[in-house]
Amino acid sequence: MSVRRGQQPARPGTRLSWLLCCSALLSPATGYVIVSSVSWAVTNEVDEELDSASTEEAMPALLEDSGSIWQRSFPASAHKEEAHLPPPAGTARAQPPPAPPGMFSYRRESGPRLRSGTARFLAHASAWGCLATVSTHEKIRGLPFGNCVPISDGPLNNSTGIPFFYVTLKDPVVADLMKNPMASLLLPESEGELCRKNIVDPEDPRCARLTFTGQMITVSPEEVEFAKQAMFSRHPVMRKWPRQYEWFFMKMRIQHIWLQKWYGGVVDISREEYFKAVPRKA
């Protein structure tokens, strides 16, 4: 073998180490799989954020209801008929290589009940939402205009599924509603801790988003007392807001319900399914 001047010949030990590393990377590994779900590899940026407790062995504990959705997976060789037999004399049973790092799985659910229950949960758990109207402002007349507003669908022990609002005409979106009462309301799951606990970015499409479209109406005198309980129990500071702003209560008469909780598409939930459902976590 010819060696250029100034170069050191490759050592056999170095070449052998390189071959062993390649074979280890290509060998099958055990891991975890989820029943009725989707798995993917976590990027290096997310990997760096995981502390020592968030290892592959500990990852199932980070998800809700881990006992029923996680299932240990093994290489195909482990399921052969002779796999249960002891190894021949003089040979040792090969130990399976460690699971690949950075694998994360997230439960994916479907079905009208689950979707409507998730929608009711978001409506009840959300303390604020993004309300969008058709603007009446001279410079942007007819264009969408949005604002973040506090909401409540009832006291903590009484979910109605109907969003209530405490508003003033000095808010541009409320001024818009006086001329065109149609609006949409976005309620993101990112407000809660579920996405963060599952190591999902709050803006990730797997963090559910609920959108209502409907007509905004002023709460009737008969319902004002309940509206007060709904809003003030969830936002106590509202009681001290300046009275010169002439606050009053509104609610949305929901016409359409849209839920997105995955990468593509939204689900149209019927009003009947929605109001019949029991709030449940996404």
Residue 239 lies in a domain: yes
Region 216-223: what's the mean pLDDT?
97
Find all residues with CB under 8 Å of 113, minimum gap 6, and list them: 273, 277
Can you give the pLDDT at residue 18? 62
What does the pLDDT look like over 265-276, one tens digit per residue?
Answer: 789 999 999 999
Nearest residue to 161 (alpha-carbon basis) of 214, 107, 124, 132: 124
* Number of domains composing the chain: 1
* Contact (Cβ atoms closer than 8 angstroms) between residue 77 and residue 32: no
Region 81-100: what's the mean pLDDT?
52
Supply the mean pLDDT for the chain: 74
- Indicate which CATH number applies to the domain containing 208: 2.30.110.10
Residue 215 lies in a domain: yes
Find all residues with CB under 8 Å of 152, minimum gap 6, and list them: 127, 163, 164, 230, 231, 233, 234, 235
Residue range of the domain that includes 225: 112-276
| Global confidence as pTM | 0.61
Selected residue with higher pLDDT from 204 and 149: 149
Region 12-34: what's the mean pLDDT?
51
Question: Of the ranges 44-48, 200-204, 252-256, which is most confident?
Answer: 252-256
Residue 64 lies in a domain: no
Q: Given a cut of 60, is residue 155 above it in pLDDT?
A: yes
Residue 243 lies in a domain: yes
Residue 56 lies in a domain: no
Q: Is 70 helix (H, G, I), strand (E, B) or coil?
A: strand
* Contact (Cβ atoms closer than 8 angstroms) between residue 226 and residue 194: no
Can you give the pLDDT at residue 183? 98
* Contact (Cβ atoms closer than 8 angstroms) between residue 149 and residue 167: yes
Q: What is the amino acid identity at position 251?
A: K
Residue 160 lies in a domain: yes
Can you give the pLDDT at residue 90? 60
Residue 126 lies in a domain: yes
Phi, psi values for residue 185, rounded to 5°: -130, 120
Residue 43 lies in a domain: no
Tell me the pLDDT band of 66, cut-offs 50, 70 and 90.
very low
Can you give the pLDDT at residue 278? 87
